A and B are shown apart, each in its own frame.
Chain A
Amino acid sequence: MLHSSRVEPSVSPLRALLNNIPNLLLAVTPLAIIQPILGHIASHVALDHPELFARLGSHARKRFMVDPIDLPFVLILSPDNNRPTLRAYRRYEKPAHDAGIAGKFFNLLDMIDGSQDGDALFFSRDLRVTGDTEAVVALRNALDDFEGSALESVIGSFGPLAKPAALAVSGMRALQSRQNHA
């Protein structure tokens, strides 16, 4: 469990409950519903950015645990270029992995998207790295070579569902921002 290094502002119990509704919904949502979406993201990124695997080298065969500490699940990324996978697990399942990256969801997302610097997040203790550090560094550098916004590319890949997906992300971001400034 990662403990926050920041002093959290006090929030009324009702506001805290309302802010936490998406998280509560995700907590009761069966992961089986999320898995196809995650699988699609992994396939899209692999297809759209084959150069990623060259940068990862032998680390493409590693298992990375991405832990968004403010969401009720962790993700296991296996970027193997033959069959890349991204799957969600409940924390109690303690899925096996070679390397781990933990941080708030939108910090992780913005880092992958090229709008947050991973080293700066590490310096401020907003990013935690565990396990195989070399694999994490290779993954970070490979993801940072994306052209443009990885998030926009992934959202666009959902075709007719792209607009609702974009709205969902911006809604979650607005909620997160409100929580940070509450």
Chain B
Amino acid sequence: MPDPDFLRPELVCPAGTPAALRTAVDAGADAVYCGFQNATNARNFPGLNFTPAELEQAIGYAHAREAKVLLAVNTFPPAGRFDLWRDAIDVAARLGVDAVIVGDIGVADYAARTYPDLRLHLSVQAGASSPEAIRFYCQAFAVKRVVLPRILTVTEIAELHREIPCEIEAFIFGNIGMMAEGRCSLTNYATGLSTNMDGVCSPAADVRYEEDEDSTLTTKLGPFMIDRFACGENAGYPTICKGRYLCSSKPGGYYAFEEPVSLNLSALLPDLMRAGVTALKIEGRQRSRAYVKAVVSAFRKAVDDIMASHEPALANLLALTEGHKETQGAYRSKTWR
């Protein structure tokens, strides 16, 4: 018997390759988000993402199974390079994606003016977290959904829901950074490449791993040592925001920004659904088919259980988390970090 308190939320899942997209759809995704093989999306990693031809086939596969395909065009075009972002919007409209996820106001404006029927979602990269900012995007560009930054408690999301005229998408699992999406310049400082304009956080070409005879793993980004993991200690991504640093106020190495840890809101799903969250988002376009299958299946089952008024069976996803650690981040309390 469906629970009358809840509207069925859309489970929005990541795909870095066509095979991952098919895996996500088969595992029960309601929608899959992906990007092109260039700087127009925030996971512009080597060997990842879709060509227009691959996206066209993927849309056919998803639509045949009643799943949606969302295209992330969510980076910020530098002056003189707008053509790449404009082309991405043109291709998205031509291929019939179900929505485009945008972060830049110029890209949003181009899409809204040129393709008024193309559904727009506001990317987390836009960093819009106040009712005023979100309403502006809705009024100016007819944005239909906002992907919220991971800085709000569930209570705040519920209050926000009452004040904005669009749907809410919230992250429920995956990588969690220092929550300055679209504004973080740490990679740019270290490597000269921009997360926000080139789509690369810690570009792999600048990452080096070194393991010594004691099995201590050293991770470096450009000229900077980010962390050292002792033998047997779980490791994290080579991102500056997850680095361990020497600070005068703390003895030994200290995670000054954020620890290697992943978001997992499986225990908060009913609260999020009650708060008016329309879409539940899983992070990880850079992850494998194995990750997509395990995480999407687990959350598909959990959401279906909640909708049927059953106690959700929450799978243990710890092995897939960064540093083998989970957090509910700011969703539970602002006292986090």
A interface, CB within 8 angstroms of B = 2-3, 5-6, 54-57, 59, 110-111, 114-120, 122-125, 128-130, 133-142, 144-147
Task: Report the bound CA distance from A71 to B297 in whole Å.
Answer: 34
Report how many residues on chain B are interfacial, defined by Cβ distance under 8 Å: 44
Task: Report the bound CA distance from A70 to B211 in whole Å.
Answer: 18
Q: Does B4 contact A (CB under 8 A)?
A: no
Chain B stretch 235-267: residues in CB contact (< 8 A) with chain A:
235-237, 260
Q: Does B203 contact A (CB under 8 A)?
A: yes
Residues on A with C-beta less than 8 A from B22 are: 147
Task: Report the bound CA distance from A56 to B51 in whole Å.
Answer: 14
Task: Report the bound CA distance from A114 to B287 in whole Å.
Answer: 11
- Quote the shortest CB–CB distance from B215 to chain A (angstroms): 4
Given pairs A117-B290, A120-B290, A120-B320, 15 additional interface contacts (CB within 8 A)? A54-B51, A59-B47, A110-B290, A114-B290, A119-B237, A119-B287, A119-B322, A123-B260, A123-B323, A124-B324, A125-B235, A128-B211, A128-B217, A134-B203, A144-B17
Residues on A with C-beta less than 8 A from B290 are: 110-111, 114-117, 120
Is B19's CB under 8 angstroms from A147's CB?
Answer: yes
- Quote the shortest CB–CB distance from A118 to chain B (angstroms): 6
Is A117's CB under 8 angstroms from B46's CB?
Answer: no
Q: Does B199 contact A (CB under 8 A)?
A: no
Task: Report the bound CA distance from A30 to B286 in whole Å.
Answer: 39
Residues on A with C-beta less than 8 A from B20 are: 144-145
Is A123's CB under 8 angstroms from B231's CB?
Answer: no
Is A5's CB under 8 angstroms from B46's CB?
Answer: no
Is B235's CB under 8 angstroms from A133's CB?
Answer: no
Q: Does B207 contact A (CB under 8 A)?
A: yes
Is A3's CB under 8 angstroms from B288's CB?
Answer: no
Q: Does B233 contact A (CB under 8 A)?
A: yes
Residues on A with C-beta less than 8 A from B45 are: 137, 141
Residue B18 contacts which of A56, A133, A145 (CB distance < 8 angstroms)? A145
Please name the residue on chain B nearest to A5 by beta carbon.
B232
Residues on B with C-beta less than 8 A from A114 are: 19, 288-290
B interface, CB within 8 angstroms of A = 16-20, 22, 45-48, 51, 203-205, 207-211, 214-215, 217, 229, 231-237, 260, 286-291, 294, 319-324
Task: Report the bound CA distance from A138 to B237 in whole Å.
Answer: 16
A123-B215 contact given A115-B290, A133-B209, A137-B47, CB 8 Å threshold: no
14 A-B pairs in the complex with CB atoms less than 8 angstroms apart? A2-B215, A59-B47, A111-B290, A118-B288, A119-B320, A123-B236, A129-B209, A130-B211, A133-B208, A140-B47, A140-B288, A141-B45, A144-B16, A146-B19
Please name the residue on chain A nearest to B238 by beta carbon.
A133
- Quote the shortest CB–CB distance from B297 to chain A (angstroms): 13
A120-B319 contact given A2-B211, A114-B290, A134-B46, CB 8 Å threshold: yes
Is A123's CB under 8 angstroms from B324's CB?
Answer: yes
Residues on A with C-beta less than 8 A from B211 are: 2, 128, 130
Please name the residue on chain B nearest to A114 by beta carbon.
B289
Please name the residue on chain A nearest to B48 by beta carbon.
A141
Residues on A with C-beta less than 8 A from B204 are: 133-134, 136-138
Residues on B with C-beta less than 8 A from A119 are: 237, 286-288, 291, 320, 322
Residues on B with C-beta less than 8 A from A138 are: 46-47, 204
A117-B320 contact given A57-B46, A130-B209, A142-B47, CB 8 Å threshold: yes
Residues on B with C-beta less than 8 A from A134 are: 46, 203-205, 207
- Quote the shortest CB–CB distance from B193 to chain A (angstroms): 12
Residues on A with C-beta less than 8 A from B321 are: 123
Task: Report the bound CA distance from A57 to B46 in whole Å.
Answer: 8
Task: Report the bound CA distance from A28 to B152 in whole Å.
Answer: 61
- Quote the shortest CB–CB distance from B7 to chain A (angstroms): 32
Is A5's CB under 8 angstroms from B236's CB?
Answer: no
Among A57, A129, A133, A142, chain B packs the most CB atoms within 10 A around the CB of A133
Task: Report the bound CA distance from A116 to B290 in whole Å.
Answer: 5
Residues on A with C-beta less than 8 A from B320 are: 117, 119-120
Task: Report the bound CA distance from A128 to B229 in whole Å.
Answer: 13
Q: Which 9 A-B pairs have CB atoms at the shortest separation, nearest pair first? A: A141-B47, A138-B47, A138-B46, A145-B17, A134-B204, A134-B205, A3-B215, A117-B291, A5-B232
A124-B19 contact given A2-B211, A5-B231, A137-B45, CB 8 Å threshold: no
Is A125's CB under 8 angstroms from B233's CB?
Answer: yes
Residues on A with C-beta less than 8 A from B236 are: 123
Please name the residue on chain A nearest to B205 by beta carbon.
A134
Task: Report the bound CA distance from A101 to B292 in whole Å.
Answer: 22
Residues on A with C-beta less than 8 A from B231 are: 3, 5
